[in-house]
Structure 1
Amino acid sequence: MKIKEGHNIINIHNFLPHREPMLMVDYILELTEQNVITSFHIKPENIFVSHNELVEAGLIENSAQTCSSIVGQSFFEGPDIETKVIGFITNIKKIDVFSLPKVGDTIISKASLISKYDNICNIFCETFNNDELLIRAEINLFIQKLP
């Protein structure tokens, strides 16, 4: 999936508590109650870049942040209301890393909700660089609103 100029892009800051240098998603390209597609451009100063590649931990964090936006949207009350949430990876059920993207690449992550109970969810995610599958993971997350 290529990002099209003028594409309807959703601000990730509305759905995730992460900020630089731990923010591993730039934009939400599509979002429903069950699915999300995000993009992330890899810059040389990224804390997870080593030898001009985004390392495995960066791919996992990108996947987790992509996944958490599905659940995080349920706490979002509107663009003018600050919503604070916190989330944790409670379990990585399965993960396969096939390749590492390079600095300058824009990766696309696609996640689908498998199940949800209160604020605990099980989500499947795949990340691509163009048509190349980089990582596939099944992640359990816990997310809650902060007072």
Structure 2
Amino acid sequence: METTILLEKEAVGNLVPQKFPFVMVDRLFSYSETSLVAGLRIQDDNIFLEENTFLEAGLIEHMAQSVALHTGYQFFLKNEIAPTGYIGSIKDIEIKKLPQIDDTIQSTITILQEFGGITLVDIVTFLNNEEIASGQMKTVLAK
């Protein structure tokens, strides 16, 4: 698991279109043109918590926002405003385990293809070095 944090909560929140209480990424660990590692510490005010368990919808939203963070950071580095993006499709999502309150999850996104504002990414989410979720998403940038 990554330990060096490039950006934390407030800075990360400025790079994704979602706003509190719907922000599901709160740290950026690493970034490259083709990958990113994002994290989330699951706190007691999270809207996807039920009886101290982080729900499947929260995990999928965290995965999607990790992709959005890659786009947001890419535009931030160019000193440009990031366009809004949308999930075009979700494929092969597998959730093996649900994290609990106070856990910190990390998602690694890898860009498989990018063309004309459409991006296909592979996403793997970890909890304490254990893979707990994976899948693919296709995102589309608004014109």
TM-score, shorter chain, exceeding 0.5: yes
Letter matched to residue 139 of structure 1: M
Q: Normalising by structure 1, report the TM-score.
A: 0.86
Q: Decide whether the 8 Å contact of 2:88 with 2:138 is kept in 1.
A: yes
Deviation of 1:75 (Å):
2.8
Q: CA, structure 1 residues 8+93, in 2 after alignment: closer, same or farther (shift >3 Å)? A: closer
Please state how far the C-alpha of 1:72 moved relative to its aligned partner.
Answer: 3.0
Alignment correspondent of 1:102 = 100
Q: Which moved more, 1:13-22 or 1:61-70?
A: 13-22
Letter in 2 for 1:100: L
Q: Give the aligned partner of residue 93 of structure 1.
A: 91
* Cα deviation, residue 8, structure 1: 4.5
Over 3 Å counting, the alpha-carbon distance change for 1:74 and 1:27 in structure 2 is same
| AA in 2 matched with 1:117 | F
Please tell me the root mean square deviation across aligned C-alpha atoms, in Å.
Answer: 1.8
SS in 2 for 1:21: coil
Compute the TM-score of the two structures, normalised by the length of structure 2: 0.88
Q: Distance in 2 between matches of 1:14 and 1:143?
A: 18
Give the % identical residues.
29
Please give the alpha-carbon distance, in whole angstroms, between the structure 2 residues aligned to 1:67 and 1:84.
13
Match of 1:22 in 2: 22
Runs of 4+ in 1 over 6 A off after TM superposition: none
Q: Give 1:9's aligned residue.
A: 6
The answer to whether the 8 Å contact 1:125/1:138 transfers is yes
Is the CA contact (8 Å cut-off) linking 1:95 and 1:136 kept in structure 2? yes
Q: For 2:141, which of 118, 140, 143 is the aligned residue?
A: 143
Aligned to 2:72: 72
- 1:128 Cα shift? 0.7
Whether the 8 Å contact between 1:99 and 1:134 is mirrored in structure 2 is yes
Aligned match for 2:116, one of 91, 115, 118:
118
Aligned length: 139
Question: What are structure 1's unaligned runs of at least 5 residues?
Answer: none
